[in-house]
Copies of this chain bind each other. A is one copy, B any other.
Amino acid sequence: MAKVALGASTMLLPLPSVLVGADVDGKPNFLACAWCGIVNSRPPMLSASFGPHRHTFKGVKQQGTFSVNIPSVAQVKETDYCGITSGKDTDKVADCKFTVFYGKLANTPMISECPINLECRVLHTLNLGSQEMVVALIEEVYATDSCLTGGQPDVVKINPFLWVSRPSNQYWSFGKPIGEAFIVGKDIKH
């Protein structure tokens, strides 16, 4: 295969498209975030990176906690809206008709309409350049009961989506299973 050097970029696939939430000056706000991923298994931790002047990030710094809400395909417009507007200018919760709920962490709002919600506590913050990366402990996971099968989150019922930046900025649905993890590789012998 002939390879072409394209220059340095954030060309990773897949990228998530989640809604990060925090109370800002006592009012819930959410932003769309693609710079988010798991960074540790035990205990479970994730990273989320924020533009330093984002309104939600102000709340993250105020409380030291935030939520990560995984939207369904049904919330794609609301997710995008939370990415292209600022809580400095409008009440995104009212605009999106989100039902906000709270769990075990104070001032950490979550979106009821999103099938999966993670409550997170900030452990480390690292200023990397255009973003500040926050490493956070996942303290609790909530699921909408209709998205469970046998007590476990069911990706078909959750119907999540992802963000594809190249060649054009689009949200994409998940496709279908193509192989069992920790199994299909056994076909290759050494």
Query: Which residues from chain B contact A70 at a C-beta distance below 8 Å?
Result: 12-13
Number of this chain's copies in the complex: 2
Interface centre among A79, A165, A173, A184 (most CB of B within 10 A): A184
In the complex, residue of chain B having the shortest beta-carbon distance to the beta carbon of A161: B178
Query: Which residues from chain B contact A172 at a C-beta distance below 8 Å?
Result: 155, 174-178
Q: How large is the interface on A (under 10, 10 to 19, 20 to 34, 35 or more residues)?
A: 35 or more
Residue from B8, B39, B158, B169 in contact with A139 in the complex, judged by beta carbons closer than 8 Å = B8
Residues of A that sit less than 8 Å from B by CB: 1-16, 18, 34-47, 49, 68, 70, 73, 76-85, 89-92, 94-96, 99, 101, 103, 112-113, 116-118, 124, 126, 128-131, 133, 135, 137-146, 148-150, 152-155, 158, 160-190
